Structure 1
């Protein structure tokens, strides 16, 4: 189906009355009518004049978080962009000058949108280039339109350079970003409008050039004047809309401007994200749209789940374009209550017909003539009950003709409805174009003709309309009658490959999509022997459907691959499907979508996996490549499907034994005299809870000079940021003094690589100083199978032990592996010794536990082979820390406890848990890891138990929770019957996990006695932990209630308080607070209050004279600060109202700079305007602190050098003791090392503020 525009189908008076609210007619025109613009730019100006602050356009600032732009924003930003583009494009100052054509090529993102507005504002004609056509097509369009300038997105720079090399005089200009053209936000439209255009003349000039698909040859340009385009945009359904089509597509562009014209908000899809059902569903459910405009592929994705269909059914209208919607898909949606509207039009004619209809009319796929169109519509018979649609001269939005009488023959074929007059079903193209479900168009003639020339082939017919990829039926000739279907296919395959090379990816044929029919097969043809295509499709409908069924369900692969082998298999086929200049850019963690992998590549890769990889009879989800968009994630998902659902019992024990043998050879350590004076401890897993607590405790030891964190990250700065944020979220970072924080070093790493991804230089530097390594990192995914843990975890552990053996020390660095009690869950008997279990069968039946047990064996073998101190630290259930009660609320136990607040019930279990606070575990791990013990295995579990029902449930009641106590089966019944929305009822996410444990009559569960004597001897901390601390229960319940357990949707009529974050930027003199404040204010788009300027006159005189301020001076200053902050917060002009910010926060920010602050000062600033429980206050202020710190010597040096401060030198020293010191209960403080480069300080501060929300 040709690309289309949208138009109101019938005058309102002509619409039949309906009962269903989902089939209401379009909204009547605005009354009074809005002024009629003459150009695209005038459209924006008029709307901005009448509706300056009306949000009209939405685009994500990051992933799926949308920002809205008002009409004033569109005018202002496009004006700014126009001024910058005017610097690099030839000027056009008045209407007498010929308009120049400027091509636009790139992803349909925000910069693309503002660029097309800016180019139009400058009086240029914009040539929209599809991102999916060939170089020959680009060159043809540039030549025909006489275009000599092309503006390109960065991802298409290589394409543009190739075009410039092929065409002399073509200038390539990089698309500008907002950061480049938003230089002066105060300039208005008039100040930038230097041109003197006659708008009446401009109205008849070409605004846009949109090209045809080129499915029958080279694409043809279609010219749209401002007048024609604006006339087209007047025809609108006037509904808040969401569009997934790109702006270079006529359907996408038209509907965006229809929303702008009709003052109806329009959102477009994030061009940097793959089109997945999860993304679409979140957008549709997060926003109150009325109409959804998409290609059928998007509807297909959403139709695969009930939630997707329900989201579509909640809309007033769902309208598709770009291609026909398969009948089965449309029927499924309409049966699900979706008001599905088909519509038809072309780029050359604009919108023509839709399937708006009465509620009792179920023919969603028949578009209807309307009174306005009928005089200009002609249906010309083409035989077989098919008609070609022609649009006669005079139709207002027609911009092209291809017949002498001025009409336009569309070459689109329609079939009339058997009983509804004026209703037509689109059947295909007269020229046999095949239109895939994603809207891509392919012409089959060249491929078919090439094969027909082969003596083995009688007939070749391609198919694929409405499908995800093309297929072909090949009928053997008499010469090929004696060959098997497989042999004949192999014989013709070179011809197909040769033809494929000249075709875009979506038009290419895959071997598995070709079916060979025997010689003599009868098929519809004319008396001259020519194929009757549509009749062929009808006659072979079942056979065609079987091809797709086989492609989707094929599971005949025989390759049995490990995870490493599967990753390489996927990588190889991805490079075949989507070649890259550098194969090294396709790493295991590369986002596949960023490399250009699209829906067709996804379909073909899935088919290849099904064809070649053994899946034990299981299939793969249709969208598996987009749902797991890296090689590592995809491989793990495939193996999980293969093993988890396999009907064959796999010998996991033999696999575990094989892995132990594979990785258990270790070289001997070469002793080197020690040069280091302090210990260097390498820690993995510092971004996790245990790792973060371990780092915080290690740096406090005087005998440790460095704690080196190996982190999965892309850079050193990213690794450092992740570790800091992890410690900050757990309230560990703010209390560390500057000298201790400087002990922490962070490096990006990849444990699957022999050098740990560090590179030779960094590896050698760590090898030269390492004394111990504590390995806390592990993939915590209980659904993954054993093989999925091989590369990163099992092999990774060996690589870490090799680092210990490379230590430039007299002895190897000690290696300490944090294992899990899940390795001994199936131990026979009642006791678990501090030793390896007797059998691999002792591990719990999941890959996580099995991989940990394999690694326990590797550790003990390394110790016996090399003499290194290698230890297994078998850790039990870790819970919240004792200081703050912080506990990850997504873990199983917190989710179970949360049921007290969501379903009002907890189960009465006869269990005896052994819980250990995370800070206690960290202390025990540290004590053992830094000891000289030669013992190999330790059980780090609580020696004491408590009873779930007798001890924990009363403690939860005492902590403030109110809930019923029910038996385990009743609890599962209530959980299953509870709110299915995981946002409101997070416990529901683990309903199947809990059911597997408690939906039975088994009440007594095994309670092991863990031997902990050796661990307690080395770390007495373990023996002193209570079985259950009621104080700790109160802390973690309080933490949960303050955070996620109270995150519920606002009730109807409730008043939601608006948050302002007061960022107090403090520190001693000379640490560049003012410079940092300016940089942060620019990043956060917020004002700055200079705290020193708020002092009264007396205080300022004292400060300038070197006199210390009194307590009264400080009180007066704090009172003045409070008034200043409140004035800023309550001023409407502080930030753009309640508009979302670039920082991603929904509230507003204010920065306050000041010098040293005492604890009482900080408390005063925290209480300027606290959150109101009774919601009588519209605003509340959340105060956070960023404290710049430097050494005393450095501060005095800077002050002595007179670096931008006026504080007297003798006033500095007394302020140092109070600067930046944070108490344990002040996690709202984030300290920053001020002796770094300014850019590092800025990024670290922004990272800290991302947590201090």
Structure 2
């Protein structure tokens, strides 16, 4: 029994017996197999086709824009990967080193390692930059397999530790085949495993492996106080106890949806996935790494219950303009640890991120579940710290004097010491023995942090004994940085941490240097950046002489007094006083007397950027390319804000650093602000940067080789290359092409290892029959990110000899992606246009690019959009998607005008269901809006004119234009492909839906969205989203239609006379309202929605 007047506490007991991790996962999948487990919004839905087809889950048949798997699918993918690794020579029990970001492959590998009884060792993606450190980690962990993110990491490993790489049993890479021959493709080996008849036998063998509580299942590396990281081996016992402790402390169960934003090599970032998944919850990644805008958008949408973060992440997220909007739904529970938590972090979490619960927690790599508590509001007292809370379930805590084992009296500060089942028993390789001691036959671990335990057992972290710097939640060992400086420059240094408003702490290098090199500071900064990465970036290099010292302050035994050195440095900053330029007058910084010219501003900005550890070598080098992270970006923003010569009189938006991305662009932005009109020019300069990027893309992807005429070589039948054949429009185009006698062959690139199956399923789903399909269609299997045009030499030759038409109908429809994300698709467009020019015929192949009406929806000053090229990039700036389509149209225009291509931009409007079956993807926005009537019995009145065109009508029109006889006029550069017949949403569509039997009441838009929110609140978000998916798009609806006095469609009209002149289908497109197509589509939807329409309804009346 514990005495309550000493600093010792135990959390609630954990239930016994302790399970084996493998058994815990198997049991979880058996219980929760059909629930959603893994969502990766930045990865394609068909990344692993074999996994997608596994299990008849409720998410299998929906058309998803991103990867989404059930628990059963995730485990199946992991089992396939375990089988593949075993077949490639990996022996059970062999440690696996993993250098991956936040992606589904990481989670597959984690579970595959558990299946194989292989210790899972996640490493920092930048670890290979430090040859000494990566050798140490791979050697100490005894890794026999290495799985990496990309070619750059693989190349660095092969360069720095070639001998260790030669000894690996398996080397593999996420994504398609690596350019480095010895690295396998995870995609390929998983696909092969799915077709291996021995897979079931392998699973039985692996399930029968002997497993015990003391088996090492994870190895994490922690930045110790020595020069090299320490290896913390977690066993079945310690890891499962941590998982269960977290589950009990935070009440984790199957309804919890974790938005994962932490680095995957951290113990919390990787192992907490198990804490959420094992009870049946889900884990979501919105980007590969921490990205403020995409995470802020996810928090705004309110789909997730939990976020785990370090304090600096709270600062970065709360600075996003996205979270200042009134529509922010927020997050239920924010859990924060990793470095000192301030009251401001709690205030921002409740006030900006709109959390309902906030939990500070304390833990470390050696045992993460130590103590925590949950706050339901910002603490009233301004005097108290933010406490770390009480001992977690299964945790044992003491506060001891340094180097002692007896607990101190409560209220006396000392070192926090951890006991209990959650912690490791020792480091690998005999490192750090002094960190552990035994008392009463139980092992305890000295954490190195200073804490106080109150009389009620509540714990506050008040300081640190270890020589450690914590930057943004990441431990930086001073000795490790000092060793790099010594090895790289030969200079003796002491690295200390000083407080920073963004990162918590940043490293300062105090050097002993008597040489005359004026650039020694930048050389030291670049040395650390090159060897260790931006997370270790040195904030400032200071010579001892600047502090008035000849030597380091030391103890009598010769140990450097870093605490005293730190105080001396901080005092030197205070004595220097704030610079005049840092002092605002009346809330505004003084203007410099002479406006800075652009060249000088660029020079100044380049120096400031380099001083912040973003070591670009020129004003045009992209910040991202040299590894800028969010902390560096935020600190650069703050430095610029304070510097009057760079813009101290004007505040940058946090996203500006990412948006502009180079010194040149950022300087141009600052120049605009420097000349006044900050409020009005901020958005303008932002759009100017986008326009510059669009123009740059046109230049980059708009270069081609001219067509070489092959005199007299004429194709007698059409050979067509069709992209997007599995989409709705592509499937209808394909079916029509197959039925045409003048078409000899259709080439269809399709993703995945089973393209025929995917294509057949697409046709079948749309009730499209094609008897001649096997005879005419040649399928091309493509992998995401892999250049498919050059993968098959025989196919390429056949295309060059026969190709007459290219119809490019493949483009990702994702309005959240920035313009830069579409670069691969613009590159594909460039290659297809070049292919059309390279054909060995008398004229180039015709190229039809399926564009969008969105390229003109931002047009101002005109009502009618002619069938002419876009004259200004600003006509399509509404999203990254429309921006990419504008760029694509310009590339096509350049190919036609400057290089002689025969190409057209088909500017497509709203596509609806086909005229025969009415099949329209019910996951699109308009069907989802209509579906809401089944749940809330209302639909909104919108001031909007619609010009809808059935998909089969559009498909015929595309083919008619693509195959126009040569004697007709040559194809135009632009055709507007929308219906000439418009109708009113409120006056025409809603009565047609009522006539078709849909039971609803027409209400104002604001009342409709209020009903959606009420339905969600009454039924719970998860259930409501399943029955009424429109709830998930409330923010989209309000942004598109809410609070506008003007017309919801912008009042634009698209001229289609040229399209009608060359296409009979365009000229005779059916009237969607009068033709009865609304009822056909509604009947089709009802088959999926499980609802019914009224057999008798009053004509024209809505109930």
TM-score in same-fold range (> 0.5):
yes
Instruction: Flag the 1:28–1:447 CA change in 2: closer, same or farther, 3 A.
Output: closer
2:877 and 2:375 mapped to 1: Cα distance? 57
Match of 1:925 among 948, 951, 958: 958
Q: How many angstroms apart in 2 are the aligned matches of 1:1022 and 1:111?
A: 55
1:742 to 773, 776, 785: 776
Q: How does 1:957-1106 map to 2 (within 5 A)?
A: 957-966=994-1003, 983-995=1029-1041, 999-1000=1044-1045, 1010=1055, 1012=1057, 1015=1060, 1019=1064, 1022-1023=1067-1068, 1025-1026=1070-1071, 1028-1043=1073-1088
Counterpart Cα distance in 1 of 2:163 and 2:358: 49
Residue 976 of structure 1 deviates from its aligned partner by 8.9
Q: Which residue of 2 aligns with 1:702?
A: 741
2:226 to 213, 216, 227: 216
Structure 1 CA distance, aligned partners of 2:495 and 2:723?
A: 60
SS at match of 1:532: helix
Q: Which runs of 5+ in 1 are unaligned?
A: 1-7, 17-24, 91-100, 121-125, 550-555, 560-569, 578-586, 629-640, 1048-1253
Task: Give 1:433 deviation, angstroms.
Answer: 0.7
Give the secondary-structure state (helix, strand or coil) at the position aligned to 1:366: coil
- Cα deviation, 1:290-318, whole Å, max 9, x if unaligned, reads x9877667777887869999999756xx7
Shift of the 457–890 alpha-carbon distance from structure 1 to 2, 3 Å rule, reads: same
Taking structure 1 as reference, are residues 603 and 168 closer, same or farther at Cα in structure 2, changes over 3 Å only? closer
| Alignment gaps of 5+ in structure 2 | 39-50, 53-66, 100-105, 173-185, 427-432, 556-560, 585-595, 600-608, 617-621, 641-645, 662-678, 1093-1103
**Does the C-alpha gap of structure 1 residues 969 and 935 become closer, same or farther in structure 2, counting only changes over 3 Å?**
farther
> How far 1:258 sits from its partner (Å)?
10
Between the aligned partners of 1:236 and 1:301, the Cα distance in structure 2 is 26
**1:362-761 equivalent positions in 2, closer than 5 A:** 365-367=386-388, 377-378=400-401, 387-389=413-415, 399=425, 402=434, 410=446, 412-414=448-450, 416=452, 424-443=459-478, 447=482, 461-463=496-498, 468=503, 471-472=506-507, 490-500=519-529, 503=532, 506-509=535-538, 532=564, 535=567, 601=629, 603-604=631-632, 619-621=653-655, 645-647=683-685, 667=706, 670-674=709-713, 676-709=715-748, 711=749, 717=753, 726-732=762-768, 735-739=769-773, 742-746=776-780
**What SS does the corresponding residue of 1:960 show, helix, strand or coil?**
coil
Q: Residue 1207 of structure 1 aligns with which residue? A: none
Rounded Cα–Cα distance in structure 2 between residues aligned with 1:319 and 1:491: 42
Aligned in 2, Cα 1:730/1:189: closer, same or farther, shift over 3 Å?
Answer: closer
Structure 2 distance, partners of 1:609, 1:543, is 19
How far apart are the structure 1 equivalents of 2:286 and 2:1005?
48
Maintained 8 Å contact 1:10/1:370: no
How far apart are 1:880 and its partner, in Å? 1.8
1:1026/1:654 CA distance change after superposition, 3 Å: same
TM-score, normalised relative to structure 1: 0.55
In 2, Cα distance between equivalents of 1:842 and 1:350: 51
- Using the TM superposition, give the Cα deviation of residue 1026 of structure 1 relative to its aligned residue in structure 2, in angstroms: 3.4
Note if 1:955 corresponds to 2:992.
yes
Are residues 1:915 and 2:931 paired?
no
> C-alpha separation between the residues in 2 aligned to 1:211 and 1:672?
67
Indicate yes or no: 2:357 matched with 1:338: yes
Provide closer, same or farther for how the CA distance between residues 750 and 574 of structure 1 changes in structure 2, counting only shifts above 3 A: farther
CA distance in structure 1 between the aligned counterparts of 2:762 and 2:971, rounded to whole angstroms: 30
**Aligned to 1:682, what secondary structure does the other structure show?**
strand
Shift of 1:139: 6.2
Partner Cα separation in structure 1 for residue 822 and residue 113 of structure 2: 47
Matched with 2:47 is none
Q: Select which of 315, 329, 344 maps to 2:345.
A: 329
Report matched runs for 1:229-268 at 5 Å.
238=248, 241=252
Taking the aligned partners of 2:656 and 2:687, their CA distance within structure 1 comes to 26
CA deviation digits over 1:190-232, x for unaligned, max 9?
9766x9xxx9xx98x9999877533323345678999999999
Separation of aligned partners in 2, 1:497 and 1:741 = 61
Asked whether the equivalents of residues 64 and 283 of structure 1 are also in contact (C-alpha less than 8 Å), the reply is: no
Secondary structure, counterpart of 2:719 in structure 1 = strand
Q: Structure 1 609/697 Cα, relative in aligned 2: closer, same or farther at 3 Å? A: farther
Task: Give the Cα–Cα distance (whole angstroms) in 2 for the partners of residues 908 and 136 of structure 1.
Answer: 67
TM-fit CA distance, 1:697: 0.7
Note if contact 2:8-2:398 (Cα within 8 Å) is conserved in structure 1: no
- CA deviations over 1:1114-1144 (Å, ceiling 9, x no partner): xxxxxxxxxxxxxxxxxxxxxxxxxxxxxxx
Alignment TM-score, normalising by the size of structure 2: 0.61
* 2:435–2:446 Cα contact (<8 Å) kept: no
C-alpha separation between the residues in 2 aligned to 1:300 and 1:854? 35
Per-residue deviation, 1:248: 8.9
TM-aligned CA distance change 1:874 to 1:374, over 3 Å: closer
1:972–1:995 contact (8 Å) kept in structure 2 = no
Residues 853, 948 of structure 1: alpha-carbon distance in 2 compared, 3 angstrom cutoff: same
Q: Aligned-pair distance for 1:328?
A: 3.2
Q: Report the Cα distance in structure 2 between the residues aligned to 1:963 and 1:140, rounded to whole angstroms.
A: 68
Q: What's the secondary structure of 1:706's corresponding residue?
A: strand
- 1:958 CA displacement: 1.1
Contact 2:227 2:483 survives alignment (8 Å): no
SS in structure 2 at match of 1:343: strand
Question: Which residue does 1:1065 correspond to in 2?
Answer: none
Deviation (angstroms), 1:434: 0.6
Q: How far did residue 704 of structure 1 move?
A: 0.9
Quick one: structure 1 residues 312 and 443, their matched pair in 2 at CA, closer, same or farther if it must change by over 3 Å? farther
* CA contact 1:914–1:943 (8 Å) conserved in 2: yes
Alpha-carbon separation, structure 2, partners of 1:346 and 1:841 = 50
Question: Which residue number in structure 1 is paired with residue 97 of structure 2?
Answer: 105
CA distance in 2, matches of 1:721, 1:433: 56
Q: Distance in 2 between matches of 1:995 and 1:298?
A: 33
* Whole-angstrom distance in 2 between the partners of 1:664 and 1:356: 58
How many residues get paired?
Answer: 914
What does 1:817-832 correspond to in 2, within 5 Å? 818=850
Contact 1:804 1:814 (8 Å CA) reproduced:
yes
Native 8 Å contact 1:872 1:936 kept in 2: no
Q: Is contact 2:836–2:846 with CA below 8 Å preserved after alignment? A: yes
Give the Cα separation in 1 of the matches to 2:115 and 2:906: 62
* Distance in 1 separating the partners of 2:908 and 2:309: 51
Partner Cα distance (2:246, 2:876) in 1 = 61
Matched residues in 2 for 1:211 and 1:946: separation? 64
Contact 1:473 1:516 in 2 (8 A): no
Q: Distance in 1 between matches of 2:883 and 2:25?
A: 64
- Check conservation: 1:411, 1:429, Cα contact below 8 A: no
Q: Which has the higher contact order (CA 8 A, sep 6+)?
A: 2
Which deviations, in whole Å up to 9, do the C-alpha atoms of 1:992-1042 show, x marking residues without a partner? 44337x721669985859463883575267336336345210121223333
Q: In the aligned structure 1, how far is the partner of 2:206 from the partner of 2:688?
A: 71
Please report how far the alpha carbon of residue 693 of structure 1 lies from its aligned counterpart in structure 2 after TM superposition.
1.7
Comparing 177-186 with 428-437, which one deviates more in the overlay? 177-186
Q: 1:297 and 1:1016, CA in 2 relative to 1: closer, same or farther beyond 3 A? A: same
Cα RMSD (Å): 7.4
- Structure having the higher Rg: 1
Cα distance in 1 between the residues matched to 2:979 and 2:825:
30
